Every structure is written in C-alpha cells, then in structure tokens.
Amino acid sequence: MYCLGWDEANEIALQNFTSDELDSIALETFQVGSGFTNRIDSIFKSGTNGDYPHISLTRNFSKSHEYKITILSTGQVYTLTNFETKKESCNKCFPYHPEDDYYDELVSYSVNGETQYGLIKISK
C-alpha cells in the first residue's frame, strides 16, 4: 500500500463558497517567517473544479512555506501557516516490509491564526 505523505499533497479544499465567489482566486506562496513579504510563487485561478471546489498549488506543500489565498470577488484573505507534522509508520506488515518505513502525516495547521486539523481547507 502506498502511504501519501503530507509533503506529497498540493490541494486546498474550498468549502461553503458559491461558484460566483470562486470565480477568481489568487494563491501566493511565501517563505515561512517572512511576514508574507518574501513571495516565492503565485498563481491565479479562474473558476472552480466541479463538485469538489479546490485550488492546486504549483508545488507540493512544504513546512518552509506559508500560503495566502485571496478570493478576489469578495476580498477575503486566508493565510495557511504553522504546519505541524509527525512521522507515521507505513506498510508495517512484518515480515514483508520493514518497520522503519515512514511518511510525514499532517497533525495541524492554522487558517488565519486558528488551529485546524485534517484535510487542508478553507471555509467561508
């Protein structure tokens, strides 16, 4: 079984927004601790992705980055910071796999300073 690590993900789910609100979205990636001044990357997204509205990063998530999402139609700004991970064992099926096969699991992160758990998402 393949264990998907947090650092292999690149999607942010968008919840409780109307399709009109998600017409135009800006996503900026910053160096962690820069106070959102040292921008590394940015993308502009137009429209949503069907029944599962989300935005995809150009690169996978990284603990050395912070993210800023701006919903241009409403002016709402969301920041994603403080990513905490832990090592989890993967495929622990002795004797077929070693017990030291690990991946990084996301424990928590912050949206606009509020701690969140689980799937990386922003909600209106």
Measure the CA–CA gap between 78 and 13, rounded to whole angstroms: 12
How many CB atoms lie under 10 A from the CB of residue 9? Answer: 15
Measure the CA–CA gap between 84 and 106, rounded to whole angstroms: 6
- Contacts of 95 by beta carbon, 8 Å cutoff, 6+ apart: none
Q: What is the CATH number of the domain that holds 98?
A: 2.60.40
Say what the alpha-carbon torsion angle 108, 38, 23, 77 is, to the nearest 10 degrees.
60
How many CB atoms lie under 10 A from the CB of residue 87? Answer: 11
pLDDT of residue 75: 94
What pTM did the predictor assign?
A: 0.85
20 in a structural domain: yes
1 in a structural domain: no
Assess whether pLDDT exceeds 70 at residue 100.
no
Boundaries of domain holding 96:
6-123
* Higher-confidence position of 81 and 9: 81
- Contacts of 70 by beta carbon, 8 Å cutoff, 6+ apart: 25, 26, 27, 28, 76, 77, 78
**Domains in the chain, number:** 1
Assess whether pLDDT exceeds 90 at residue 51.
no
Collapsing DSSP to helix, strand or coil, 22 comes out as helix
pLDDT of residue 80: 97
Peptide linkage before 95 cis (omega within 30 of 0): yes
Rounded percentage of the chain residues whose pLDDT exceeds 90: 52
